[in-house]
Structure 1
Amino acid sequence: MDVSEDKKLDKSPQSFTPELKTESTKVSYRFRCPCPGMFQCSLTGLVFVVDQEAELLYNTVQWDESRLQSAGKTAAGLLFNIHCAEDAVCELHLPHCETEDALSSEGLLSVVHITDDGMSFLKPLEITDTHVIVKVSHLSAFGLVRDAGQKLRGLFTRKKRVCGQLLLFLRPPARDIQILDVFLLPSNLPLSEVAAQQDDAVYIKISSACKLKVGERYIVRSDPGKFKIQPESAVFYSKFGVNFFPTFEVFLTPNIQTLTLMVKHEKGTEVWKRSIPLPSKGPKRKTVQNPADKNFQAEEKLCAVRAEFIQRVSDTVLNQLLDKLLERGVISDAEMESARTKSRAEKAKDVIDSVRRKGSEASSFLISALCQLDPCVSRELSLR
């Protein structure tokens, strides 16, 4: 594949789900590009163009806001620390959350490159509806920044609208109350980064896209309207720090199955409205278990989440699980080869059913391996 300066790639990126490693609330991503090409991370939205087979390692790091301010810039996305031992990445596409009217302003977006030698700014090769594209020669920390200079004063005299997202997490019940956390965030903040900080809360998958104005105030309303919601209103800020806290908290009553949630601008304009299905039983808090019961419970857990496991686990994660199960001796070479030839759904059925049949120790190992490889799905299945 030609990835030279004077020839653009004319194919869409190949999507991949990276291997995840979560330590405390910090997430790191790993993926092996099998060949030259264009590859897009399904979790972060990052696109890598590589000129050879290569292993990518990346994670988010904290911005130094004072350095950005001194350069007349402000963060417009997360700061990613990227490594590739093969030095194979030649182009990087960083996701943005700008709307069409903002993108018409020349010089609005650029990419900062931070190394041990200092900070430099890269002019984009191209800005698409979703990404800012830059050429790269060597890797370290890259992040999207917005020009806050005087030449863009006209754009910011009115409140700037961005592409946003609304994320919902249901906390474990406490006494007779459950709290639904509502996050108003820019669209280019990865769910994986937010979910890693939510402890035992369950992510509620729902369409999340909305348009939000930076610096303006929003309110949340529910139907039925008997639920307490705090605060009464909140200002939306386009922040890209490393800590994520809910914008609103909805206090639910026991045994509620569905509710309608809406987000409105303080002047009354509705920006998001959805009917929210809630789990019939809320997520349970982690408790100290009797070691004698632990393995037996693992088999029950796999049985309880079988349908969702088959539906949610990606093909990439399934292949990684097969490798780990083979290394541990849970499955044989023949079982692994047989599973790899099947479709994703059939492969998922093979993995969970064969492991359950092999007993309690095998079931516990599969749960542990899934929690390591895909924390988001593990949390959704209440296996963490």
Structure 2
Amino acid sequence: MEERLESVLEEYKQSLTDVSQLIRTSKHNTSDQGTREVFARISKAADEIQQLLEDGVNITNLLTPLQSGSHLIRDILSNIKADRPLSGLKRSGLKRHASRLEGSLSDIRKKETLRLSTLKTNRNLHDNPIAIIKTSADLGECLEPLLQEEENGDLKYTLKCPTAGLFECKFTSLMFKMETAGEVEYHSVPWADKLENYDCEPAGPLYDISCFPGTPVQIHLPHCEVISDGKLGHLRVAHITGDGLEIIKPKEITESHVVIDVTGLSIFGLITSFIHYLLGRNIRAHVLLFLQTRSNFRTQELQVLLVSSNSDTKKVKKQRDKDIYIERNPNCIINTCRHYSLFTDPPGLIVTPNSAQYVECSKNISTAFTVLCSTEKELKLILKDVKDQTKELWKSVVNIEDAAAAAGSSQTNSENRTKYMIGDQHFIDRHRIRLIESITTVEPILDRLLDRNMINHENFTLIRAKSTSTQRMRELFDVGSIRSTTKGKDCLYDVLMEVEPLIMEELKSTP
């Protein structure tokens, strides 16, 4: 045990020396990757020190080296100027880690030993421990939510849960355990600086959740961790309200979800410890492909994105709705701190950049690689680790010719649909009030919408039961397929052009 302690101390001191050297030699060219690697070694040694502590070793003699670590981390922050910002290793993260380290030092000074910290750690680990349940999936009924585009272009989901039970969103994999029937509304929001004062980082999207009626009693947040690694104890849930941020320990963790009990709804998101963020985690990821066409489709650019499997991919696709999404098997496993390269067959195609890294979900999801395609009709894409190119992490064959044809068709459809739009607003939304007030005969409209499967018999009967045409039109506009989907609004536009051409032409001439 003492030999192990001595070895850890030597490793820790050497890492501190390397940090000092890094500061002296890199004042004008600070390497984010170099800083990351050195600091990762310090963090690894700190973890081993914590393990020794749990084993009952008295390590009062660590006071001096830990003080040196705190001072040197502060030095890193002061020597890296604003014109040379850290990209991967966050300045705010270093500040939080230094504060945490100083908190431990304060305990040592007060108690002359780290025993108090040991008891606190053991209590956190063993009182109400997290149950790790290795199941292939949570057993919930999968439902497709209604979609509504918000003013800022984001998507809002509405999941209609018909009874009590466990229900899963088809698009986000969020799950809700309900005591009664109810509707749950949710959408992803930016993390921004919500974790600024906490020693943790995002591990999934942040969702703003509300419900009426029938509040969920449990929320199952999808995670992307590789459960075979056996390292899921670092996952927690951030619960954000007007009163601040609360960190919740999960009730259990399944192979796919983190489960928490809830008594009220607001904002929830998965987080991981800052140490795990620095050292990197193996995660399940998705490779998403989007085709951009230019110059009458003579030049194509294939945009390749690397995102975690629990990302809000529906939102990502919505943000790139002008591109053609190419559906392929997206699944792979990557490490959050490693760099990857994309190879093509045939070789020699222009791929930029040479290497890329997974982008944390707290940031805007940007393109990892761009492949310039000119005359290629088909190509194979292969993702490899920069440091180990013998192993293929993901590969797929993409038919560029078919995708470009789809792009051409999509553009034609888009041009045809411009008649429905006024700027960024749909014609139906723009003139909703005028249409409700002007249309006096609603039944022919309902008949056509029913024939085209845009409303069901229940909607048809409910709308016809209203006593006035104004009430009927208002009820029609509130039907989910009309209120929340572009397809529904397009269909209603076509039907109104058939049934009420004079009213529609008058509205077209209205500024």
TM-score under structure 1 length normalisation: 0.70
What is the distance in 2 between the residues matched to 1:249 and 1:187?
21
What is the distance in 2 between the residues matched to 1:207 and 1:289?
30
Between 275-284 and 221-230, the greater mean CA deviation after superposition: 275-284
> Is 1:253 equivalent to 2:379 in the alignment?
no
> Is 1:331 equivalent to 2:459 in the alignment?
no
Contact residue 76 and residue 240 of structure 1 kept, 8 A:
yes
The structure 1 residue matched to 2:405, chosen from 262, 266, 281, is 281
What is the distance in 2 between the residues matched to 1:137 and 1:371?
35
1:4 counterpart residue number: none
Amino acid at match of 2:321: D
Residues 92, 223 of structure 1: alpha-carbon distance in 2 compared, 3 angstrom cutoff:
same
What is the distance in 1 between the residues matched to 2:198 and 2:371?
40
Contact residue 201 and residue 271 of structure 2 kept, 8 A:
yes
Residues 213, 334 of structure 1: alpha-carbon distance in 2 compared, 3 angstrom cutoff:
closer
2:294 counterpart residue number: 173
Aligned residues: 303
Amino acid at match of 1:218: Y
Unaligned runs of 5+ in 2: 1-136, 421-441, 459-480, 491-511
- Give how far 1:197 is off: 1.0
Residues 118, 157 of structure 1: alpha-carbon distance in 2 compared, 3 angstrom cutoff:
closer
Residues 327, 78 of structure 1: alpha-carbon distance in 2 compared, 3 angstrom cutoff:
farther
The structure 2 residue matched to 1:371, chosen from 470, 480, 486, is 486
Higher strand share: 1
Contact residue 283 and residue 334 of structure 2 kept, 8 A:
yes
2:344 counterpart residue number: 222
Contact residue 21 and residue 373 of structure 1 kept, 8 A:
no
Amino acid at match of 2:249: K
Residues 126, 257 of structure 1: alpha-carbon distance in 2 compared, 3 angstrom cutoff:
same
Unaligned runs of 5+ in 1: 1-9, 296-324, 342-365, 376-384
2:323 counterpart residue number: 201
Within 5 Å, which residues of 2 pair with 1:1-384?
Answer: 12-23=139-150, 24-65=152-193, 67-106=194-233, 108-148=234-274, 153=275, 159-174=280-295, 176-237=298-359, 239-241=360-362, 243-254=364-375, 256-267=376-387, 268=389, 269-278=391-400, 279-284=403-408, 285=411, 328-331=445-448, 370-371=485-486
Contact residue 250 and residue 260 of structure 2 kept, 8 A:
yes
Residues 335, 22 of structure 1: alpha-carbon distance in 2 compared, 3 angstrom cutoff:
closer
- Give how far 1:327 is off: 9.3
Contact residue 279 and residue 337 of structure 2 kept, 8 A:
no
- Give how far 1:177 is off: 1.1
Contact residue 293 and residue 404 of structure 2 kept, 8 A:
no
Percentage of pairs with the same residue: 27
Between 268-277 and 10-19, the greater mean CA deviation after superposition: 10-19
| Higher RCO (C-alpha under 8 Å, 6+ residues apart) | 1
Can you list the C-alpha shifts for 1:230-265, whole angstroms capped at 9, x where unaligned?
11111234x1136221100011114x4321111111
Contact residue 146 and residue 484 of structure 2 kept, 8 A:
no
SS in 2 for 1:196: helix
Residues 242, 51 of structure 1: alpha-carbon distance in 2 compared, 3 angstrom cutoff:
farther
What is the distance in 1 between the residues matched to 2:138 and 2:352?
47
Can you list the C-alpha shifts for 1:119-156, whole angstroms capped at 9, x where unaligned?
101111101111000000000001011122xxxx5x67
Higher helix share: 2
